[in-house]
Amino acid sequence: MAKYAGLSRRRFLAGAVGAGGLGVLVACGNQVGQMQNAPYATNAERNAGSGTVPAAVQASAATPAASGTAMTGMNDMPGTTTAPASASTAANATATPAKDWQAMSQMHEAGVKTFLAQPQTLRGGQRMEYTMQDGVKVFNLTAKPMQWEVTPGQIVEAYAYNGVVPGPQIRVMEGDSVRVILKNELDEATAIHYHGLVIPNAMDGVPFITQPPVNPGESFTYEFTARNPGSHMYHSHMNSALQVTKGLLGAFIIEPKDRSAYPAFDQEYTMILNDGPLGFTLNGKGFPSTEAVTVKQGTRLLIRYMNEGLMIHPMHLHGMPMTIIGQDGYLNTPYKCDTVNIAPGQRIEAIVECTEVGAWAWHCHILSHAEGEMGMFGMVTALIVQ
């Protein structure tokens, strides 16, 4: 669990409740200390109706799918389904069973409890090391299937670069000579497209248009000069609706040589949005396994949003506005908002002046991607200002 100035995240949040810090994160408003005895089940257990889910909840309400794509029973909310009643059932029914709201609140609480503890889990998107060969920065990537834990106990097959989802972050400087060597250990062909980069046509990574596909067991070398600075991505461009959503994706960041035109910031965080076989994820994880972002009060935080999924995701930050400074690697006229719509393929750069102390919810505002009867899931995290 991350610590700052001797305070654990749990202790910090417990102290922040009285000041309203955790109240913005936990809808039921209970103290962190009260979470100790709350029942908890993984998304997979909830779907299966295992014994860790209160029986009253199983009887009165359906649970969110592990992928976050289905929720039922909440007063016919959009995206829900209700099983049709038979004529005899309708005739004999005398009353609707009372909803066990206490059990529902316990499940909400339990998910937040796990999130606050920041479970130990393998995370992707870490900065990748390179080797220098004759003045060229060389990166090695291997595409391979693996078992990936999305939330505690929910393990699914993923496709990964170098064993993590997202793949490791590639970061270079404007003007650098770059070489990326891809090795394919999948059971199907693949290729890498460098999304947003201005590069030679032969290096664009689209099978049968700019290159032959990289077949199983083969390797392919991409070589180019990093020309346009900004927040970019790399991902598969072969069977991409499956390969990308299963995890063949990563951030490709080109830092500008001249930083004078770029707004100043103290700390940065890259958030890759995705949806599909892994569910609704932020950097390859679904709540409560998503990563909380912790900063000191007064920090200017640069957020690099990247949408690798199939859907639009309006990302909403509680408590403080975002200043949008750029899109797709290009600086724009700044404007403020608290919710920014990020379409598939888009990259949005935002700066947050972290002035307000507390734990602030941070989530996709298509609510069926983030919260259901059994609690928060999917595309939810928190910005913690200390």
Of 255, 288, 312, which residue is a domain's last? 255
pLDDT recorded at residue 27:
33
Pair 347, 376 in one domain: yes
Q: What is the pLDDT of residue 29?
A: 32
**92 in a structural domain:** no
Q: What is the CATH number of the domain that holds 158?
A: 2.60.40.420
Rounded CA-CA distance 367/78 in Å is 10
pLDDT for 283: 98
Q: Are residues 106 and 185 both part of a single domain?
A: no
Q: 237 and 269 share a domain?
A: no
> Are 137 and 240 contained in the same domain?
yes
Ordered mean pLDDT values, 10 residues apiece, the chain (386 residues): 37 37 35 33 44 35 36 33 46 69 93 89 96 98 98 96 98 98 98 98 98 98 98 98 98 95 95 98 98 98 98 98 97 97 98 97 98 95 97
What is the pLDDT at residue 96? 74
Q: Which two tokens stand for residue 269?
A: 């965080």
Within 10 angstroms of residue 385's Cβ, the number of other Cβ atoms is 24
How many angstroms separate the CA atoms of 249 and 339, rounded? 24
Letter for the amino acid at 344? P
Instruction: Tell me if 95 is assigned to some domain.
Output: no
68 to 124, 290, 377: CA distances (angstroms) = 21, 14, 7
53 and 15 within one domain: yes
In a domain, 227, yes or no: yes
- For residues 256 and 174, is the Cβ–Cβ distance under 8 A? yes
Cα-based angle 310, 313, 314 (whole degrees, multiple of 5)? 160
Parent domain of 287: 1-80+101-117+263-386
pLDDT at res. 345: 98
Domain match, 246 and 313 both: no
Instruction: Please check whether residues 270 and 233 belong to one and the same domain.
Output: no
Question: Based on the domain organization, do 229 and 161 belong to the same domain?
Answer: yes
Total domains in the chain come to 2
Per-residue model confidence (pLDDT) at position 99: 85
pLDDT for 48 equals 47
CA distance 54 to 62: 12
Last residue of a domain, one of 217, 233, 255: 255
Residue 312 lies in a domain: yes
Tell me, yes or no, whether 290 and 234 share the same domain. Answer: no
* DSSP per position, 10-25: HHHHHHHGGGTTGGGT
Contact 124, 272 (CB under 8 A): no
pLDDT of residue 94: 61
Residue 383 lies in a domain: yes
Do 272 and 363 lie in a common domain?
A: yes
For 69, list phi and psi in degrees, rounded to 5.
-100, -5
| 292/249 same-domain check | no
Classify residue 96: in a domain, yes or no.
Answer: no
User: Does a structural domain hold residue 152?
Assistant: yes
Rg (CA), the chain: 22
| pLDDT value at residue 120 | 86
DSSP conformational letter for 75? T
Q: What single-letter DSSP state applies at residue 381? A: E
**Any domain includes 124:** no
Domain boundary among 255, 271, 291: 255
Beta strand pairing call for 267-274 and 281-282: antiparallel
Alpha helices in the chain (DSSP H): 9-16, 43-48, 55-60, 87-92, 101-117, 240-243
Q: Give the Cα separation of 285 and 59 in Å (integer).
A: 29
Same domain as 136, residue 54: no
Distances (CA, A) of 338 to 32, 145, 158, 282: 27, 37, 32, 18
Name residue, tokens 């005739």: 91
Alpha carbons 128 and 98: distance in angstroms, whole number: 53
